[in-house]
Amino acid sequence: MKRTVAGLVTVLVAALGLTACGGGGGSDPLANNNTGSQSPSDTITVGSANFAESQLLAEIYAAALTKAGVKVTKKLNIGSRETYLPALKDGSIDLIPEYSGVLLQYFKKDATATSADDVYAALQKAVPDGLSVLDKSAAEDKDAIVVTKETAQKYNAKSLADIAPHCGDLILGSAPEFQKRPDGIPGLQKNYNCTFKSFTSLDADGPLTVAALSQGSIQAADMFTTDSTIEKNGWVVLEDPKFNFAAQNVLPLINTKKASDAVKKALNAVSAKLDTKTLTELNTKLAAPDKPDASKVASDWLASAGL
């Protein structure tokens, strides 16, 4: 017993000593969180967030660039914006598909623009040096608070304003970052005075969130408007009269140094042909039971769109 105690004390002292000298620098291990090197100057590294649509868009960009003769490498499924944007800033990735409204709020927390053009103009100003946004597409995929048909009928709610007084009876589920995003929990509180009973961390409109809403373990979910699951289940997208969720046009966010003319031409051509209806259809194709690869869905669409 004495020896065990002696051993434990030794370990504790050693551990304290190790931690004292080890982490002293205190540099955030999540900062510049990347797997290493920057790509050579003629190659573009395309990244994506950790949900299916982002991966699809990344594959579309990658395929379009490859067709235009640009060398491309892919680093997909990195994580939330909080995780991959630092990687973009330090050059581990060069290009990522983005959504105008939330991106603006990421760079400028107090942004107030809500219409597509206003958001785009403000975004171009707010983007930090070294990064730029190319042309926006007409395709929009917005966050939306979704409830089941029963919930909507129970509270006779068509919009967030209708449901606001009853938020305290509902549990909201979404990806963890929704708790801190300006248009997430803080935004709903500010714009609608809506405070949910509690929040359950699930995923970004992935299987967990869908299952939770179906099973009733949450009553409201933050989902993406191009997700066909909403319509399939007969769920209700609550309207957003106060524009808590600004316009979310899909556009490429790129490292300015890598935005050569060929690159810009290829990506802008994609943006010109991409609209919400197409995006929703592509998402549905992706979710088909035989699970086609995102890269195949992407190249098929490019071919059919004449790009």
Partner 1 sequence: MNLLTSWLFDPTNWSGPTGVPARLLEHLWYTALALAIAIVIGFPLGALVGHTKRGGFVLVGAANVLRALPTVGVLTLVVLLAGIGLVPPIAALTLLAIPPIMAGAYAGIGAVEPVVVDAARGVGMREREVLFQVEIPNAMPLIFGGVRSAALQVVATATIAAYVGLGGLGRYVFDGLALHDYPQMAGGAILVAVLAVLVELVLTGVQRLVVSPGLRPVRTSGGIQR
Partner 2 sequence: MTWVFDHLGLLGDLTVTHVYLSVLPVLLGLVIAVPLGWAASRWRPARAVLLTVSGLLYTIPSLALIVILPALISTKTLDPVNVIITLTVYTIALLVRSIADALSSVPPTVVAAATAIGYRPFKRFVGVEFPLAVPVVVAGLRVAMVSNISLVSVGALIGIAGYGQLFTNGFQLQFVTEIVTGIVATLLLALVADLLLQLIGRLVTPWTRVGR
Residues of the shown chain interacting with partner 1 in the complex, contacts defined by CB under 8 A: 19-20, 23-24, 26, 28-30, 79-80, 82-83, 86, 175-177, 179-180, 198, 200-203, 207-208, 211-212, 215, 217
What value, to the nearest 5°, has the Cα angle with vertex 120 and ends 147 and 87? 80
Query: Smallest gap, in angstroms, from Cβ of residue 115 to partner 2?
Result: 32
Rounded Cα distance between 166 and 178, Å, is: 20
Indicate which single residue of 130, 168, 207, 234 sits in contact with partner 2 (rule: CB under 8 A).
Answer: 207
CB of 110 to partner 1, least distance (A): 19
Min dist CB 64 to partner 1, Å, is: 29
CB 188 within 8 A of CB 163: no
Token pair for 298: 């992407």
Residue closer to partner 2, measured from CB, 194 or 204: 204
Min separation Cβ 29 and partner 2, Å: 3
- Nearer to partner 2 among residue 20 and residue 156 (C-beta): 20
Burial zone of 74 (CB within 10 Å; 0-12 exposed, 13-18 middle, 19+ buried): middle
Q: Which is nearer to partner 2, 21 or 110 (CB)?
A: 21
Residues between 74 and 103 with contacts to partner 2, criterion CB under 8 A: 77-79, 83
- Given the complex with partner 2, which of 50 and 249 has the nearer CB atom? 50
Question: 18 contacts which partner out of partner 1, partner 2, none, CB within 5 to 8 A by kind?
Answer: partner 2
Residues that bind partner 2 (CB under 8 A): 3-4, 6-8, 10-11, 14, 18-19, 22-23, 25, 27, 29-35, 50-52, 77-79, 83, 203, 206-207, 286-287, 291
